[in-house]
Every structure is written in structure tokens, then in C-alpha cells.
Amino acid sequence: MELTFSPIGTISSCYKEKFGIPRQAGLVPEARATLQLLAPFNRAEAVQGLEAFSHVWLVFVFHQNLRSTWKATVRPPRLGGNQRLGVFATRSPFRPNSIGLSAVKLERLEVSGSRVVLHLKGVDLLDGTPVLDIKPYLPYADCITDATGGFAAEPPARNLEVFFTDRSREAVLALEKAGYPHLQKLIIETLRGDPRPAYYKQQPQKSDFGCRILDFDVRWQFLEGRIIVRELVSHISRPL
């Protein structure tokens, strides 16, 4: 049996590449995205009443992980990348059906003619993600307070110290004034969770990394247990 679905909307996210994306929704409150509904779903009526909900579920497609093969086990970063677990016991993006699930904060609903846009916070979504469904978050059904969480019972540690060089701090502050508000907060919240893949954590010789966030390559170093943001390189014009 094959089932065919069409996206009802597309994500524009602050995360422009996979590296650096938080590993669940809600971990980086400052991570923003918009979800614009595609025709023929871009009708004000289709979202009528949604603004009464603080959070929504997005059922989406891991569009950069689409493949025809699958593996029964994966190595979750939470377990240091060494231990294998069944793919259905993890939220890995590498799944038999490349479907993702995120509960994100609905900041605002923008409806203007055929433009129907959800403004979201706390996303773990890649730019360009196709969305299959939006559902309201229903606390009485979805917030299971006595659920126990196996290997991921506690939230992942997100307590790395993030420093800026004088140069990168100046660049960030200038950019905040130039139309990228909260940029510093977004970078700190993203990096303090240590986005390095597990296999790099065991190879300390590699210490220079870069994440594409908004319009910038954020270049940072992992040094003696801390993260140092060295520079932001614009994708639009010149190095900053």
C-alpha cells in the first residue's frame, strides 16, 4: 500500500543547513520560522480559530533525508554516538518514512489575502521543510505528565558557555540594529547545546566549525570546553 501526500505549506527557518539545528523543538526558544500555506490551502478559513492555541504540532518531511533505503538501528547523539538503538525508539531524521513531528510555539497568525503565514518560535526545522499537516496542541491529550522517557528522560545538557570575540560581538550588535533582532540570543541558544556531532567530541583535534544561521555563516571554535564565536560571514554581501 502506498499513500501519497502533498505539502500544505513550506517552512522558512533561521536554520539554513542541517548542522546546528537543535535536536528537538523547544530547545532554542529564540529559533524562529514562518510557515506559509501553499495554494489551495492558503485560505483564511483553514486556520480560523488557530490563534487561540499557544502551540501547534507540525507534521513535516525530512526533505534532505529522503532516501529509498532504511536502517533498523541508528546511533542517537544523546548516547554519544556509540550505542545503537532501534530507529523507532529514537526521533532520528533517518527513518523508513521521513516524517518529522515538532510542537512549536505559535507566536502570531498573519492573514492577508492569499498570504496565510504562521509565525513560529522554538523550531528545530530546516529552511524549506515541506509541512504535511498542522494540528493544535491539546494539553489534555498531548501533555502526558507521567510519561517516562527512556534514554532521553531528561532534556539534553545545554549549558556550554558561549563567548564572542570583540570582532564577532561588534558584528552581531551591528546586525541586530540592521534588521536581525535577537541574533546574539539565537546564536548563544543554538551553540550552547553543543551542535558538534558525537564523533567530533571524541576527536578534539577538530575545533573549528561553522553553522549557517539566517544569512550568515557563524564560525566558531570549541576550545577547552567552551564555544568561541569568531566571525560571521554574510551570505548576502561581504564578510562582517
Q: Does 138 bind a copy of itself (CB under 8 A)?
A: yes
Interface region with a copy of itself, contact rule CB under 8 A, candidates 11-19, 51-59, 173-181, 185-193: 51-59
How many residues touch a copy of itself (CB under 8 A)? 68
**Cell (9 digits) for 204:** 578534539
Q: Does 236 bind a copy of itself (CB under 8 A)?
A: no
**Cell (9 digits) for 183:** 541574533
Question: DSSP secondary-structure letter at 47?
Answer: G
Cell 483564511 belongs to 44
Single-letter code of the amino acid located at 108 = R
Q: Does 25 bind a copy of itself (CB under 8 A)?
A: yes
- Please report, for residues 9, 79, 190, the alpha-carbon distance to residue 76 in angstroms, rounded to integers and kept in the order given: 29, 6, 19
Query: Which pairing describes strands 226-234 and 162-164: parallel, antiparallel, or unpaired?
Result: parallel
Q: Would you list the DSSP string of 199-210?
A: HHHT-TT--EEE
Q: Does 45 bind a copy of itself (CB under 8 A)?
A: yes
Smaller CB separation from a copy of itself, 46 or 160? 46
- Please report, for residues 5, 61, 178, 216, the alpha-carbon distance to residue 201 in angstroms, rounded to integers and kept in the order given: 39, 29, 35, 24
Interface region with a copy of itself, contact rule CB under 8 A, candidates 152-160, 186-194, 197-205, 211-219: 152-160
Smaller CB separation from a copy of itself, 90 or 168? 90
Query: Smallest distance from the beta carbon of 202 to a copy of itself, in angstroms?
Result: 22
Smaller CB separation from a copy of itself, 136 or 210? 136
* Dihedral sign from CA coordinates of 190, 193, 197, 201: positive
Rounded CA gap, 91 and 132, in Å?
A: 18
Residues 6+ apart with CB under 8 A from 149: none
Interface region with a copy of itself, contact rule CB under 8 A, candidates 47-55, 161-169, 182-190, 218-226: 47-55
Smaller CB separation from a copy of itself, 139 or 239? 139
Q: Is 61 helix (H, G, I), strand (E, B) or coil?
A: strand
Interface region with a copy of itself, contact rule CB under 8 A, candidates 91-99, 179-187, 210-218, 221-229: 91-99
Q: Does 165 bind a copy of itself (CB under 8 A)?
A: no
Smaller CB separation from a copy of itself, 149 or 179? 149
Note the residues at the interface with a copy of itself (CB under 8 A). Answer: 1-8, 24-27, 41, 43, 45-50, 52-55, 57, 59, 61, 72-73, 84-91, 95-97, 99, 101, 103, 130, 132-155
